[in-house]
A and B are shown apart, each in its own frame.
Chain A
Amino acid sequence: MKAELRGNSSSISLQNPSLFNTTQSSISGALKECVGSLDGACIEKLLLHFASALESNDVTLAQQVMWVLNNVASSIGDPNQRLASWFLRALISRAARVSPPTINFDGRSALQRRLMTVTELAGYVDLIPWHRFGFCASNSIIFKAIQGFPRVHILDFSITHCMQWPTLIDALAKRPEGPPSLRISVPSWRPPVHPLLNVSSEEVCQRLTNFAKFKDVPFEINVFEVPPLSTMDAGISQLGSSDLYDLFLNQLNPSTLELRDDEALVINCQNWLRYMPDEQKGSTSHDTSCRDAFLEIIKDLSPCIVTVVDEDCDLGTLSLASRITTCFNYLWIPFDAFETFLPKNSPQRIEYEADIGHKIENIIGFEGIQRIERLESGINLSKRMANKGFQSVPFCEETVKEVKILLDEHASGWGMKKDDDDMLVLTWKGHNSIYATAWVPCSYGVEY
């Protein structure tokens, strides 16, 4: 028997290529019979086992879990299998990274970064309300807040390359009193995360300008420099240094931003705050984190409204073990949403899931300053804003209605809830996914 095995094992690849042609589905099908239904609870438990293996330094158990995950995971299976495959990849990637942690999360990973065209990006943000919800709520609030101001300046901190603005421009163009003069400023640096474009921001700005012109809205758009980041390769190198963020913060002053006195300033933070590091920089209680510093700075710019939209999940400071399970229990949402309307083999779906896979890889695979995805839930963010001297602006009925209409146009699993008037939360099958809030500095005189 042994000799036979030996002989056979040497010819795995050569004489039995059919083994490798076995589609994933049949292997996992076989496993499926064995394990019953491959449900999220099972995979979650496996991840819990993994987490406890980490905490107790149990290599054996860790290996076993990864082995099992390897057998149940599938990038084209059901959402749980797909999610599991990305988690496994992230764990292996972490295991593989045996070098010291000063390697920067500069986007280099085994996964290839996918670049989209602008048109693809426009489609991407509307596929599910994950981004559109935030756009709609924020635009509605901004629209109301700038009433009466002839000139408006928007500071746009987001990762979606100005996809938010066409609908606002359109709404402003349709105002009975006509549109205000609109100016948008975007930083030249953004976190190295999806969605990524295959064109420059200049091109994006150009198109948006065309559109505004087409709609007859007086329009300007600027990309303000965050040197020396913009001169680096896509500005994503050296994220390991917190100096980078200091450089960024330094640019947020009235002169660099060219703030003008006659303009209403709007600050829009869409999926942005989570990329501002939250670690205490110094040892004394007076030293603030980058995130807090950012909030202080924007408060001092005297905006007439600040919109904050982000992912409603706390992943910032948890231990690795908690992060794994929390992340799993949160990111199943987009996977499940894709499942409802994209077929299993859809390349588009696989791409979207791969984007999320990148996120998972960062959340699980890195520590310290390289873990750039530091999600904070709406509730905690609200406390932070209050601590920093902001007061919340309630959402009016009209805004709520607009958002509801938007959600009606999407799959029926999407819903919304309103937390105390001040926070709108996008839900998928009842689970919180995105929150939207609006703020003004406490000293601001305008009443809402």
Chain B
Amino acid sequence: MVEIHSSSPSAEAIVSTSENQIPADEPETTVPIKKRRNLPGMPDPDAEVIALSPRTLLATNRFVCEICNKGFQRDQNLQLHRRGHNLPWKLRQRTSKEVRKRVYVCPEPTCVHHDSSRALGDLTGIKKHFCRKHGEKKYKCERCSKKYAVQSDWKAHMKTCGTREYRCDCGTLFSRRDSFITHRAFCDALAQESARSQPIVITNSEGDLKVEVVTASAELPASSPPPPPPLTPSTGVLSPALSIQSPAELPENQTADLQTQPGSAALSTSVTTTTTTKVAATTAVASCSSSSTGSASTTHGVFPGIFAASASAELSQPSRPPSSYSDLLCAMARSERTGNPIDPMSLSLSPSLYLSYGASSLFPPTSHDHQRHYASNSQPALSATALLQKAAQMGATSSKSSFLQGLGLAMSSSYDPLDNASTMASRMGGGEAAPGGYSAFLTSIGSGLDMSTTSFGGVNSARETWDDPCERKPSLL
């Protein structure tokens, strides 16, 4: 429910439209929107959601005294100032008590924080966010050329840039001490060091706290082949307590054999966490049965797992054999193979149905289709409901569903799930020859998902990535 409250208490929006110093020819959209959302995750469901225009948001003097027109950045400052005017008691009160927490949305429509469920609770915060994400970066750090849109960010960065650097033996540089410490504790460089039992050389770097350039090396590089690159001659990074100790003591510690140190590592059989999981051959789906279900609209049809679970806390056994899902796929595949006509509606490429392009990208567009596709109109934002309606129109649920085709099951003209799976398996170099197009479906999800060149679940694209060197091993392997 959206209401426009012109009498909203302490509505800075109203104040700024009527009395601000911004030239009046600029139209302001300063409408406070009130929405109630009780969905989990919303920081404060009762908060008032305020949407301000970019100009109003960034106006340095959003709060203006009605008496002398002096501008202030903060409401509190304005109120303090107003007291100085010796107002009669009635007018001295603010127009009303502010009882409601305010949250603000980002004026930029494409921003995730434009949505009221992602509103930010702090006015300064939303200002900074807006500048940071959508503004021009006017401030630049001299040392490292980092750019900032918000001055306070820039200043904060300038304080730390280059002043504090921690360098590990392995060459990695850290600007934060805790990350440096954690890294160092587990770094290979330290492990090698301890094994070498060399004396620790400490040079003074503790005195000057402001500028600390420390390295983790506690070893003279000359004494042994040091771990890779840039090592400065060792400076101690050790705590003051340690630096007090004389170097003579330390070699003793160092030479003490780790193994003999009492109880240092009373380790039992270790548990390896190195599990490489096999891909889900979890489906109990039998190879594609010959029955064709045609329609997917039966309750026991496509997603027994999903629905059964929601009915009660446990998954109940689907009363149909698990092959129902694969039935659907097979039916689809078969219809594909025999060239069943796809629902003509789903191929409609009228400019208004950009969704159809998404679906029909898997159908070969004829040339006129292409042209129609590119004759684009800008469309108003579609709600989730409208999207679903389109989905229905696209025939997402028919047996010749483009949805499932869209999930990559439309493989080739001679689509045969068994064939395909074994083809894929052999392509994978001997992965499990999982039966049924259903596993092909799963495989495509498993391997195809994270490749930037693939669309989600698209088997064909997945196949391309299997052939390509890829960042992650396909999960069948």
Say whether B301 contacts A234, CB under 8 Å. no
1/0 per position for A194-232, CB-CB distance to B under 8 A? Answer: 001111111111111111011110011111110001110
Contacts of B385 in A (CB 8 A): 45, 49
Say whether A5 contacts B391, CB under 8 Å. no
- For A214, give its contact among B179, B190, B445 (CB under 8 Å): B190
1/0 per position for A55-74, CB-CB distance to B under 8 A? Answer: 10101111111111011011
A241 part of interface (Cβ distance < 8 Å) = no
For B276, the closest partner residue in chain A by CB is: A113
Say whether B268 contacts A188, CB under 8 Å. yes
Say whether A37 contacts B445, CB under 8 Å. no
Contacts of B475 in A (CB 8 A): 110-112
B364 part of interface (Cβ distance < 8 Å) = yes
B275 part of interface (Cβ distance < 8 Å) = yes
A430 part of interface (Cβ distance < 8 Å) = yes
Q: A63-B302, A63-B403, A113-B276 are in contact. Are A85 and B325 (CB under 8 A)?
A: no
Q: A9-B339, A15-B364 are in contact. Are A45 and B384 (CB under 8 A)?
A: yes
**Best-surrounded residue of B185, B344, B446 (most CB of chain A within 10 A):** B185
Q: Is the interface of B mostly helix, strand, loop or mixed?
A: loop
- For A20, give its contact among B182, B278, B394, B455 (CB under 8 Å): B455
Say whether A166 contacts B382, CB under 8 Å. no
State A219–B263 Cα separation when bound (angstroms). Answer: 8
Say whether B383 contacts A45, CB under 8 Å. yes
Nearest chain A CB to B361 CB, angstrom units: 5
Say whether A99 contacts B279, CB under 8 Å. no
List residues 383-412 of chain A with CB under 8 A from any CB of chain B. 406, 408-409, 412
Nearest chain A CB to B270 CB, angstrom units: 4
Contacts of B39 in A (CB 8 A): 44, 325, 329
- For A22, give its contact among B176, B273, B361 (CB under 8 Å): B361
Contacts of B187 in A (CB 8 A): 119, 122
A284 part of interface (Cβ distance < 8 Å) = no
- For B275, give its contact among A54, A233, A326 (CB under 8 Å): A233
Contacts of A92 in B (CB 8 A): 407, 445, 457
Which stretch, A169-177, A268-276, A299-307, A434-442, touches the partner chain B? A169-177
State A374–B66 Cα separation when bound (angstroms). Answer: 54
State A30–B376 Cα separation when bound (angstroms). Answer: 9
B87 part of interface (Cβ distance < 8 Å) = no
Say whether A64 contacts B178, CB under 8 Å. no
Say whether B185 contacts A123, CB under 8 Å. no
- For B359, give its contact among A37, A57, A66, A71 (CB under 8 Å): A71
Say whether B391 contacts A122, CB under 8 Å. no
State A418–B258 Cα separation when bound (angstroms). Answer: 43
**Best-surrounded residue of A6, A59, A235, A325 (most CB of chain B within 10 A):** A59
- For B325, give its contact among A96, A115, A325 (CB under 8 Å): A96
List residues 362-396 of chain B with CB under 8 A from any CB of chain A. 362-364, 366, 376, 378-385, 387-388, 390-392, 394, 396
A108 part of interface (Cβ distance < 8 Å) = yes
Q: A55-B310, A59-B302, A101-B314 are in contact. Are A123 and B179 (CB under 8 A)?
A: yes
Contacts of B458 in A (CB 8 A): 20
List residues 316-342 of chain B with CB under 8 A from any CB of chain A. 317-318, 322, 324-325, 336-337, 339-342
Contacts of B181 in A (CB 8 A): 166-167, 170
Nearest chain A CB to B329 CB, angstrom units: 11
- For B391, give its contact among A22, A64, A163, A409 (CB under 8 Å): A64
State A406–B178 Cα separation when bound (angstroms). Answer: 9
State A93–B3 Cα separation when bound (angstroms). Answer: 42
A247 part of interface (Cβ distance < 8 Å) = no
A320 part of interface (Cβ distance < 8 Å) = yes
Say whether B455 contacts A9, CB under 8 Å. no
B306 part of interface (Cβ distance < 8 Å) = yes
The size of the chain A interface, using a CB distance under 8 A, is 175
List residues 32-83 of chain A with CB under 8 A from any CB of chain B. 33-37, 39-46, 48-49, 54-55, 57, 59-68, 70-71, 73-76, 78-80
Q: A170-B239, A222-B266, A408-B156 are in contact. Are A63 and B379 (CB under 8 A)?
A: no
Contacts of A202 in B (CB 8 A): 265, 267, 270
Say whether A169 contacts B272, CB under 8 Å. no
Contacts of A325 in B (CB 8 A): 39-41
Contacts of B382 in A (CB 8 A): 34-36
B298 part of interface (Cβ distance < 8 Å) = yes
- For B41, give its contact among A27, A100, A103, A329 (CB under 8 Å): A329
Contacts of B364 in A (CB 8 A): 8-9, 11-12, 15-16, 19
Contacts of A59 in B (CB 8 A): 296-299, 301-303, 307, 397
Say whether B186 contacts A119, CB under 8 Å. yes
Say whether B313 contacts A94, CB under 8 Å. no
State A79–B471 Cα separation when bound (angstroms). Answer: 21
State A109–B476 Cα separation when bound (angstroms). Answer: 11
Say whether A222 contacts B354, CB under 8 Å. no
Q: A23-B453, A196-B275, A205-B267 are in contact. Are A169 and B303 (CB under 8 A)?
A: no
Say whether B322 contacts A122, CB under 8 Å. no
State A12–B459 Cα separation when bound (angstroms). Answer: 12
Say whether B242 contacts A110, CB under 8 Å. no
Say whether B306 contacts A94, CB under 8 Å. yes
State A22–B358 Cα separation when bound (angstroms). Answer: 11
Contacts of B441 in A (CB 8 A): 96
State A313–B39 Cα separation when bound (angstroms). Answer: 13
Q: A85-B449, A220-B263, A223-B267 are in contact. Are A37 and B218 (CB under 8 A)?
A: no
Nearest chain B CB to A426 CB, angstrom units: 13
Interface pairs A-B: 5 shortest CB-CB: A36-B381, A329-B41, A110-B446, A6-B339, A34-B354
A-B contact pairs, 21 of them (CB 8 A): A5-B342, A19-B362, A24-B455, A33-B379, A37-B110, A39-B114, A54-B309, A60-B297, A96-B438, A98-B304, A99-B283, A112-B276, A122-B186, A125-B182, A166-B181, A206-B258, A214-B218, A216-B253, A223-B270, A223-B271, A347-B471
- Besides the known contacts A167-B181, A201-B267, 4 further A-B residue pairs in the complex with CB atoms under 8 A apart: A64-B396, A94-B309, A96-B325, A234-B271
